[in-house]
Structure 1
Amino acid sequence: MAHGDSGNGEKRQFLAAVQKWAPEGLVISGRMVTDAGRNMLGALNAANFEHALASCSYRRQQRAPGQVLVNGIDLDAASRRGAGPLPHPAGQAEGGRFQVLQEARGPGEGGGGDYGFRKERAALEELRGHRNIVTLYGVFTKCSSAKGPSYCLLLELLDVSVSELLVHSSQHGCSMWITQHCARDILEALAFLHHKGYVHADLKPRNILWSAEEECFKLIDFGLSFKEGNQDVKYIQTDGYRAPEAELQNYLSKAGLQSETECTSAVDLWSLGIVLLEMFSGVKLKYIVQSQEWRANNSAIIDHIFASKSVVNSAIPAYHLRDLLKSMLHDDQEKRATAAKALCSPFFSVPFAPHIDDLVMLPTPVLRLLNILSDSCLQNEEEFEDIVDDIKEECGKYGQIVSLFVPKENPGKGHVFIEYANAADSKAAQQALTGKRFDGKFVVATFYPLSAYKRGYLYQTVL
């Protein structure tokens, strides 16, 4: 796919999303973007977003016809200065680069939406730059003649949530590889935001999403977050993931009483502990953690969960994970592990290989094709080159190919690895090629970790 074609297609898809969200017109920093202006909107490279905007002069004068301004910056000028098409942060809107989060109505529409919007925006701006926290690209106002303006956040568009992974792995649980990956990524996010003085206060499976481009899990939704020691939200966290001290605080608040115990960053460790226990067990724990048995001795229940899974998971890694979760699920918040301390757990020193289900569920820019090349083909150089050329031609229909590699020896013997310029193209190829017949065989297409591929490390995938 030509570079220009990719950019134009992406621009059309983004503009379609803009028109869907703001059919009456889009106001960015107080300026109306007309149809002509929307047609001038160029796709920006997310990685170069800050650089591109910084390189553009601020436009304080009247908007020229067809000019699109965000925070006073000419986006079309930024695009002309060389910012390429966005490498997808993947996501739910087909082919989209950004996710638009409608936050709140304007000040005249009642409620504290304006305050909540400003608070979440401030948190995301202060926490910007960490790879495990969703990136805020900007803000804009959506115009609606009937209901008045509403404030929106422009966020990177992410992919599958842990909630979806839990549905897929119901009863049997997630693999140790994916559980470890999620635990490390979100603990890194918590260590960073806690160091900055923030408490997330609503950590749950729906608020942990996968980034296909950066190959990591990210924390989203800071609507209930607050600065430690300055809790301005009365009711925090979600049922099933609420720490004991937050449960007590909520109960007393409903009774009109003040809790003597302050909620701290420790509430986030509790929530993550429950999320990871659900990932390991494959069981929704909402009613278990609200039971008297759990409150009396949650350590015994954790032991029981791990004992029932011991046949599936090897003893030593499961033992490390069990101890990690117990340290995060102390009833006494003073004894609960911090994020920084939890990251030192020996659980993170155990090397795990991904299950094939993981490589189907978690998109990356690298596609792996199975069941294509036979041993005889690998030994016949001429036949091998012909088939590889055919594969390259077919895969090139879905996006720009950066590299293609076929190991002729184990591990990975006969597997075809195709690295695309972005994960969205890899996703399109995976959807199109899975189950397709190639040289008389049904193709099996999975993703593959880009970091491992770049290092030349080929997992012996667990089936």
Structure 2
Amino acid sequence: MAHCGHSEPSAKLQAPDSVLPDRSTTRPVLFEIFGEIWTVQSRLGQGVSASVYRVSSGRAATAAVKEFQADSQGGDYGFHKERSVLEDIQGHKNIVTLYGVFTNHNCMGVSTYCLLLELLDVSVSDLLLYTPQQGHSMWLVQHCARDILEALSFLHREGYVHADLKPRNILWSADDECFKLIDFGLSFKQGNQDVKYIQTDGYRAPEAELQNSLAQAGVEGELGCTAAVDLWSLGVVLLEMFSGVKLKDTVCLKELKENSTAVVDHIFSNNSLLCPAIPVYHLRDLIKSMLLHDPKQRCTADTALLSPFFSIPFAPHVEDLVLLPSPVLRLLNLIDDSHLHNDEEYDDILEDMKEECQKYGSVVSLLIPKENPGKGQVFVEYANSSDSKEAQRLLTGRTFDGKFVVATFYPLSAYKRGYLYQTVQ
């Protein structure tokens, strides 16, 4: 499985390893979902109208429950709105999966509406925290850009505008190895905007800024916003991923809406020294096409996917493989060359490693290449990403034959193909 999330008036989902502190003294201990008891493991996020929890069932399955408040904070409307949108757009690999809806009856006699959702992992917001003042790799930026553009292309073809695209609403799926779009609480059908205030400060398109101001003044705008607002938001997200800087915290944000081309050029001139020139130019031009002031001139998701930026192959950095969970664990700094050329020692190490790794979960396969690429590295495929995450947490820093273990994740798709690429340091 994987994990869900938030819009500002809604709730925020984060990775289990970055659980938010409770803002209230009570929270549900369990949910009865479709006749089965699910235990609440942690609160993943809390917003004005909903809270999100990580839950597990007796079958060891995990999921997320988004529980809407049973008060005057708009919980009922938020539930019906998000449910209707999610039910209408299900089936795309880059959009969070809705498993079902249910009503929770607590011990105080209060009933609340809930969504049972796919549990996802780390958000782009979390990723930005891990790289202060330093941009992410081109591999990671390209991966995120392609995945979210695919989601937007589908969403826009279905006639919907997401209307709250931001780093917190883009999450990584460890088992599907892709980024997914979450939180559709502000979404609307294009041409039928029923939400007055859309998008989050810092990721709000100029036309949405204008419409929000008119709505606040009690003036009805002539036209609603279009799908172009989502492209603006994604452009800002990609600019932040490339630069490692939250634009909301800088003077760039106001300038971005006045002269986006100059701001993008300035950021790229300061952050492109270590990157290959041609891919950087392609990414710069792609972001520029998303940040045009006139929404009619802005690129669409479909045209953005045709950018030459997506035709360039990149390898992940080591940091990427530490941050993005997968079912495959890669262990470094363990095996000497001498062990690889002695068949008896090699077989003993295989057995020892398998025995050790099985302590943390179900091991599907284990590989120790004798030649490059991947020579001397230990690749452990677990049955699911939960097991590999637990193994990574417990093995990192351990010693094996006097050596400190370094544990990163590794893309399952590459491992299955036998593609053991050399990661960029």
Partners of 2:259 and 2:31 in 1: how far apart? 54
Cα 1:244–1:354 shift into 2, 3 Å: same
Contact preservation (8 Å) 1:207, 1:220: yes
Partners of 1:21 and 1:136 in 2: how far apart? 22
1:382 to partner: Cα distance: 0.8
1:371 to partner: Cα distance: 0.7
2:177 corresponding residue in structure 1: 215
Question: Is 1:387 aligned with 2:386?
Answer: no
Contact preservation (8 Å) 1:92, 1:159: no
One-letter code aligned to 1:116: G
Equivalent of residue 224 in structure 1, options 186, 202, 206: 186
Equivalent of residue 379 in structure 2, options 417, 441, 445: 417
Question: Is 1:356 aligned with 2:355?
Answer: no
1:321 corresponding residue in structure 2: 283
Q: Greater shift after overlay, 256-265 or 225-234?
A: 256-265
Contact preservation (8 Å) 1:198, 1:228: yes
Contact preservation (8 Å) 1:306, 1:322: yes
Contact preservation (8 Å) 1:21, 1:142: no
1:292 to partner: Cα distance: 4.5
1:312 to partner: Cα distance: 1.8
One-letter code aligned to 1:100: V
2:69 corresponding residue in structure 1: 104
Which structure has the larger Rg? 1
Partners of 1:384 and 1:330 in 2: how far apart? 58
One-letter code aligned to 2:370: K
Question: Is 1:294 aligned with 2:256?
Answer: yes
Partners of 2:252 and 2:422 in 1: how far apart? 40
Partners of 2:349 and 2:162 in 1: how far apart? 51
One-letter code aligned to 1:134: V
2:45 corresponding residue in structure 1: none
1:189 corresponding residue in structure 2: 151
Question: Is 1:162 aligned with 2:124?
Answer: yes
1:262 to partner: Cα distance: 2.3
1:296 to partner: Cα distance: 2.8
Query: Counterpart of 2:198 in 1: which secondary structure?
Result: coil
Query: Counterpart of 1:224 in 2: which secondary structure?
Result: coil
**How does 1:262-277 map onto structure 2 within 5 Å?**
262-277=224-239
Partners of 1:341 and 1:323 in 2: how far apart? 13
Relative to the length of structure 1, the TM-score reads 0.79
Cα 1:417–1:216 shift into 2, 3 Å: same
Cα 1:434–1:294 shift into 2, 3 Å: same
Partners of 1:27 and 1:449 in 2: how far apart? 35
Cα root mean square deviation, aligned? 2.0
2:136 corresponding residue in structure 1: 174
Cα 1:433–1:93 shift into 2, 3 Å: farther
**How does 1:444-463 map onto structure 2 within 5 Å?**
444-463=406-425
One-letter code aligned to 1:329: L
1:143 corresponding residue in structure 2: 105
Relative to the length of structure 2, the TM-score reads 0.86
Partners of 1:251 and 1:325 in 2: how far apart? 26
Cα 1:293–1:112 shift into 2, 3 Å: closer
Partners of 1:416 and 1:302 in 2: how far apart? 41
1:159 to partner: Cα distance: 0.5
1:206 corresponding residue in structure 2: 168
Partners of 1:92 and 1:446 in 2: how far apart? 24
1:176-231: CA deviation from partner (whole Å, max 9, x where unpaired): 11111100110010001111111110000000111011011111100000111111
Partners of 1:339 and 1:122 in 2: how far apart? 23
Equivalent of residue 378 in structure 1, options 340, 347, 352: 340
Partners of 1:249 and 1:315 in 2: how far apart? 39
Q: Greater shift after overlay, 153-162 or 291-300?
A: 291-300
Partners of 1:291 and 1:101 in 2: how far apart? 32
2:19 corresponding residue in structure 1: none
Partners of 2:325 and 2:273 in 1: how far apart? 29
Contact preservation (8 Å) 2:252, 2:263: no
1:73-105: CA deviation from partner (whole Å, max 9, x where unpaired): xxxxxxxxxxxxxxxxxx966876110111232
Contact preservation (8 Å) 1:240, 1:290: no
Query: Counterpart of 1:387 in 2: which secondary structure?
Result: helix
- What 5-or-longer segments of structure 2 have no aligned partner? 1-25, 40-52
Cα 1:144–1:366 shift into 2, 3 Å: same
1:314 to partner: Cα distance: 1.3
Contact preservation (8 Å) 1:92, 1:158: no
One-letter code aligned to 2:356: E
Contact preservation (8 Å) 2:162, 2:230: yes
Partners of 1:269 and 1:147 in 2: how far apart? 44
Q: From the two aligned structures, give the one with the greater strand fraction.
A: 2
One-letter code aligned to 1:347: F
1:115 to partner: Cα distance: 2.4
Query: Counterpart of 2:99 in 1: which secondary structure?
Result: strand
Query: Counterpart of 1:397 in 2: which secondary structure?
Result: coil
Contact preservation (8 Å) 2:202, 2:253: no
Query: Counterpart of 2:319 in 1: which secondary structure?
Result: helix
One-letter code aligned to 1:448: Y
Cα 1:269–1:292 shift into 2, 3 Å: closer
Query: Counterpart of 1:38 in 2: which secondary structure?
Result: strand
1:134-191: CA deviation from partner (whole Å, max 9, x where unpaired): 0010111122354721111000111000000000011011111111110011001000
One-letter code aligned to 1:176: M
Cα 1:294–1:288 shift into 2, 3 Å: farther
Partners of 2:32 and 2:395 in 1: how far apart? 41
1:255 to partner: Cα distance: 1.1
Contact preservation (8 Å) 1:26, 1:141: no
Contact preservation (8 Å) 1:200, 1:225: yes
